[in-house]
Amino acid sequence: YQEIRKDIVALGQTLGSSQTLAILEDMKADDVIGVPASWNSAWEFEDQILESGANYCFEAMNGVDWAVENRDVAGKIAAVGYDNDYGGDAAAGVKAAAEANDLEYVEIKAPPGQDQQAETVASVLREDPDLLVISTGPAEMAAIVGGAAAEGFDGTVVGSSPTWNPALLQSAAAP
């Protein structure tokens, strides 16, 4: 941003919440608008940002409401996600929807890395929620869902948009 800031009036896409947050104050000083390739609910409160879709928080609330209405989810809901603005934003939505639907809420942090999910899977099995709302990347989501299902987990799973990859349909997570 520092190299191009004097030559632009807008950024057609900024990549990621952390990167956008890092340049946001400079964008404000320069009166430059941007469209992040992220869906952090913080963008709702920033005049320099044009949103391109539902934020992680709203998406998670909608996912919980869908599961309650269409999958008869009742009892416990777990937000499973990265320990960052993406996972935290989705977890806030899961928590709000759990409260609105009078459901128990738990949060499980998932580290990055497909091969780093053993403790996440163990936490899912220990908590045994009726619904998982996952906010990771697709590889982690496949490892979490596939690993938990292999150990008998049969709850409903909803994923934030960045969890999706068509290859999931060919993995152990598909069923």
User: 122-170 pLDDT, tens per residue?
Assistant: 999 999 999 999 999 999 999 999 999 999 999 999 999 999 888 888 8
Find how far residue 55's CA is from the centre of its chain: 9
Residue 84 exposed, middle or buried by CB count within 10 Å (0-12, 13-18, 19+)? middle
Q: How confident is the model at residue 70 (pLDDT cuts 50, 70, 90)?
A: very high
pTM score: 0.88
Average pLDDT over the chain reads 94
CA distance 140 to 42: 25
Can you state the angle between helices 138-150 and 118-127, rounded to 10 degrees? 50
166-171 contacts, C-beta under 8 A, 24 or more apart:
167/138, 167/142, 168/138, 168/141, 168/142, 171/142, 171/146
106 φψ region: left (φ > 0), alpha (ψ -120 to 50), beta (else): beta
The token pair at 47 is 């005049």
pLDDT digits 0-9 by tens, 29-68: 999 999 998 898 999 999 999 988 889 999 999 999 999 9
Q: Are 107 and 78 in contact (CB under 8 A)?
A: yes
75 φψ region: left (φ > 0), alpha (ψ -120 to 50), beta (else): left
User: Residue 30 has what pLDDT?
Assistant: 96
